[in-house]
Structure 1
């Protein structure tokens, strides 16, 4: 159904996967960026368990960080170690909607990515697709919208 959406007036479209973290990384949805959520309650080992998803991430949001004092089994350093062991250079941004931690940084990242995508679209052609980290065939046009694929472990 996504291919039937009129995206002309859409600046950002978030697509959340359903189910687990195994399958969604395999599907091309025409996204320009992949954002993977690593939820504190889910455990710091998720990058090691689901390497495909975390390798495809352009940004990893470490969510629910306000729970860290209560979930002492979770180590942000260990989570980042697992992420870097995958040779992923994706930024890891700790985030809490409860405390507001890093919300400004998250919004700044989105604004930067939107501006970069708009510039690629102005340049036209293959540049409009942006730097994809995977090879695939596009059977759809890339317009002036930013499509972000959100992958959550919750």
Structure 2
């Protein structure tokens, strides 16, 4: 591929991306310091559209017993998810990214300024529904959670390995639909293990609540910094 554009000027795409990620990483470290000072366990939640991120966060907001849950929501447009989460009891701040297909640390920092963290121990960042762009952007989180629904098929980890390789936790959602859609559980688990052997796996239904207890137990221990 030619290193010059049609106007004859050298391409700066790689350098600009490098500078963007460097700046983002610096902002992410600032976020991490702020989150730690506030005593927060922070998760960056990533998935494709329709996997059930908001439903999972609604369920967590309702079932979390250690104070209020904070959520910073990223969407291209609308504040629908933030309104849903507030109705579930979460303290939610919406970020509308426009044409930006991922959240960046600076956006999270500004949203965090608006969040009442009094009595809060858990902060969830609902990233833009995208399996590619958000992967490269550290937001200052302690843990990264990748969400996969049974309706997406077993091969999502193979098609989008970078996302799953970056995850500390993988949640398989909508297990109540697994039989109806012919989901091959053993193949899905093998695919996840193949690309993300480091990830803790939880299988649940955010809609029905089945399987939520193990995830809640794990989060409870994570907030205390205890091994589980």
TM-score after normalising by structure 1? 0.69
Deviation at 1:23, TM superposition (A): 1.2
Q: Give the aligned length.
A: 116
State the 1:76 CA deviation. 1.3
| Paired residues of 1:17 and 1:24 also in contact (CA < 8 A) | yes
In the superposition, relative to structure 1, how do residues 31 and 94 fare at CA in structure 2: closer, same or farther (>3 Å)?
same
The gaps in structure 1 that reach 5 residues or longer are 118-154
Following superposition, the deviation at residue 32 of structure 1 comes to: 0.3
Residue 199 of structure 2 corresponds to which residue in structure 1? 90
Measured after TM superposition, the shift of residue 99 of structure 1 is 3.6
| CA distance 1:99–1:50, change in 2 (3 Å) | same
Higher RCO, 1 vs 2 (CA within 8 Å, ≥6 residues apart): 1
Alpha-carbon separation, structure 2, partners of 1:59 and 1:33: 8
Q: CA RMSD in A?
A: 1.7
Contact 2:164–2:196 under 8 Å retained in 1 = no
Does residue 1:31 correspond to 2:137, yes or no?
no
**Corresponding residue for residue 2 of structure 1:** 108
Deviates more, 1:62-71 or 1:8-17: 8-17
Residue 119 of structure 2 is aligned to residue 17 of structure 1: no
| Structure 2 unaligned spans of 5+ | 1-106
| Secondary structure at 2:189 match in 1 | helix
> How far does residue 87 in structure 1 lie from its aligned partner after superposition?
4.7
Q: Which runs of 4+ in 1 moved over 6 A?
A: none
Give the alignment of 1:36-47 within 5 angstroms. 36-47=146-157
Q: Work out the CA distance in 2 between the residues paired with 1:102 and 1:79.
A: 17
